[in-house]
Structure 1
Amino acid sequence: MTVAVTGATGQLGRLTIAKLKTLLPEGQIVALARSPEKAEKLGVPARAFDYDRPETLATALAGVDRLLLISSSEIGKRAAQHRAVIEAAKAAGIGQIVYTSLLHADRSPLSLADEHVTTEAMLADSGIPHTILRNGWYAENHTGAIPAALAHGALIGAAGEGRISAAARADYAEAAAVVLAGGDHAGKTYELAGDEGWTLTELAAELSAQSGRTVPYQNLTQADYAAALVGAGLPEGLADAIASWDADAAQDALFDDSRTLSRLIGRPTATLTEVVRAAL
């Protein structure tokens, strides 16, 4: 069995391949990347794989049995790019596709959901056996703000007291590797999230405890948070999107207490204490 991972040089892709190397024999893993030379450090064979060059994709998938389709990072282009991969996978005779979707994509208010729902429908229509990994929020989405919070003496956001069931990126990568490596996962959809939900107030409190500095959480309106992000140098469109996701989180759009992720990987997901320690 040969397993291939798209977006192999991205953060999730690298972690997934590292875990796969502990689960599968040497020679069964292929890294697919837009720039395969950047994948050399992964220690597995690499092939050029550019979502925007659909005519080349089927050739790159030759001999692959299972494919991890990591959702594209190009919001707005995802549906077309994913369609190209799915069509190439069908042409190449791929036996199973594993797709990284969004937590509760079919009912999520997040603006990110639409392209994931469209991709899930494409997979259903393709006739290819597939597994949907509906990944919740990455803890790193928020711990990435720690340097700025320490520099300015406050963690800002617009999530109110909404509970966020975030997990470390490594937890989601391990789940993908477990599904790719074996077992009866075809036809299943997994809602994946961290074991514990936490608020940004709790994140700020944990940051304060570990850093030895007082770093409160300052809740802003969605508009004010977007403006603050623009002031920090983010493009306006991205700032508006991030602020909207926080506003959705305030309504518990990022909460899930099923613990499906920890059952799938056979261990608890990273705790708030652990993800803050890792960030620091």
Structure 2
Amino acid sequence: MIRTLAIPKNEEVKEGKIWIYCGSSIIIISVISTIYGIFGVIDDVIPTYRGGRSQSEESYFDFVDIALEAGVKVITTSAYKAAQIGKKVHDAGCVWFHKSATVKHAISAERAGADAVTIVGLEGTGFKNPNQNTTLINMTMARKLIKVPLIAAGGIGDARGFLAALAMGADAVCFGSAIMATKESPASETWKNQVLHQDIFDEKFYKRIYHLELRDSPIGSMAVGHVNEETSIKEFIENIATNAEKILRSWGITGN
């Protein structure tokens, strides 16, 4: 899954690859597509009155066109109304997910036609909505109100969190901060070290997470408390699956 950090200023074909320039970031779509096969793109939607002309509805369509032409099958939107982008994705025969910070906005996304919705709990990092709730409340309430698949996000970083999210009603789990310290992650070593050594019970860290003090200062979510070493993404996923199976067996739950 690729996240766009800004609306692409331009794109060009060079050495047989599609290079998309997103501010200081460069996404090479064809390389990622070749290595990983089907992949997805996350597009943060910002209201035009905040983003200026460079972030108009048309500019988002331009990026979606590039992604679809490159073979992207799943596109996730977040942060604002994205029904028109969702329609464009569906018209291309692809899948549209939407990520929101509240159950109310997730319901709106479902009504707009989203194939699945991700709801980020208060334990997560990034922008905080004043009405945002915890992952526990989000999932248990949303399961009663939303019919499309639910994806839990926010503070999940190990097998117990994974199983807990499923028990709450989630159909899937989104790992964010927990995989930012993996070997394949493009995050800086400084950021990875912060993830590996962050004390989640530190008062200052706690306040930044739960008292709406994050703003634009990037820190990991509460999930970083589960990250003790840098592993490959393959090892991370395998550990989640293996430990989840052990926990289920300890509860007397077995299966093929």
**TM bin (shorter chain):** 0.3 to 0.5
Higher RCO (C-alpha 8 Å, min separation 6): 1
TM-score, length-normalised on structure 1? 0.33
TM-score, length-normalised on structure 2? 0.35
